[in-house]
Amino acid sequence: MENSAKEEKRGLRLFGFPVTADFGALFLLAFIVLMQESGGPMGILIGFVAASVAALSILAHELGHAFAVRGFGYGTPEIRFTTFGGVTVWRGRTQPRHHILIALAGPAVSLGTGGLVFGLVYLFGMPGDGFAVASIAIRWFVWINLIWGAFNLLPMYPLDGGQIVRAAFATRMEPLDAVRRSAILSIIVGLLAVGAAIWKGYIFAAVLIGYMGFENWKTLSQLREQSE
């Protein structure tokens, strides 16, 4: 996911981009590890591998956004790890066509790297029995990147797909109308996605999507109040 920033923080930098993490992000990684606790020491190891791969995958996704932002001349953005993944933030208003390409850059990295590793495994196979941890890391890497890349393309704000839809609307109508229409579409998509997630038993995904849907509903309500 990506967004615009009001301020820049100092701290860890990667390729010149500031990288920060809030408490929620650390809690999420710890939760991934603890989910495997019932498996004993090997389960804990798998949890650490999964959490590390998740963090690296999210970082790569956000670097895609960050390089695109800098490439289009919007300065140096900041990458933030949050409870629900990551976000790339920067100052200033973005041209809609540039915003579409910036939003596409993250999923492109996720799907591209996940697809590349999947292709290599398909051609050459997984590492042997002596490299069990490596095999687990590869499986998690492919799964997380393909799922995360595809999920972010849902046309629901503030996911990348929602950013793309809002920017596309902004090329044809007034900004407030673009926000209104993207919020309506996000709520419709959110209701369908929550139902599908619950049906499949993906509770965390249902909570995440429900939260985003609620935020879009609040945006729509605020716009209606302003127009009255």
Residues 187 and 102 in one domain: no
Task: Give the mean pLDDT of 73-99.
Answer: 92
Domain that holds residue 206: 154-228
Query: Is the confidence at residue 130, as pLDDT, over 70?
Result: no
At 92, the pLDDT band (50, 70, 90 cuts) reads confident
Residues 178 and 88 in one domain: no
Task: Give the mean pLDDT of 33-55.
Answer: 80
What is the domain count for the chain?
A: 2
What was the pLDDT predicted at 116? 96
Residues 206 and 125 in one domain: no
Long-range contacts of 152-156 (CB under 8 A, 24+ apart): 152/1, 152/61, 152/106, 152/107, 152/110, 153/107, 154/189, 154/193, 155/185, 155/186, 155/189, 156/185, 156/186, 156/189, 156/190, 156/193, 156/209, 156/212, 156/213, 156/216
Residues 167 and 138 in one domain: no
Residues 188 and 130 in one domain: no
Query: Is the confidence at residue 6, as pLDDT, over 70?
Result: no
- Of 153, 187, 204, at which residue does a domain stop? 153
Residues 165 and 142 in one domain: no
User: What mean pLDDT, rounded, does the chain reach?
Assistant: 89
What was the pLDDT predicted at 7? 43
At 47, the pLDDT band (50, 70, 90 cuts) reads confident
Residues 123 and 194 in one domain: no
Instruction: Report the share of the chain in percent with pLDDT over 90.
Output: 67
Instruction: Report the share of the chain in percent with pLDDT over 70.
Output: 92
- Of 130, 153, 176, at which residue does a domain stop? 153
- Of 121, 153, 185, at which residue does a domain stop? 153
This prediction's pTM: 0.88
Residues 203 and 137 in one domain: no
Residues 21 and 112 in one domain: yes
Residues 187 and 105 in one domain: no
Query: Is the confidence at residue 227, as pLDDT, over 90?
Result: no
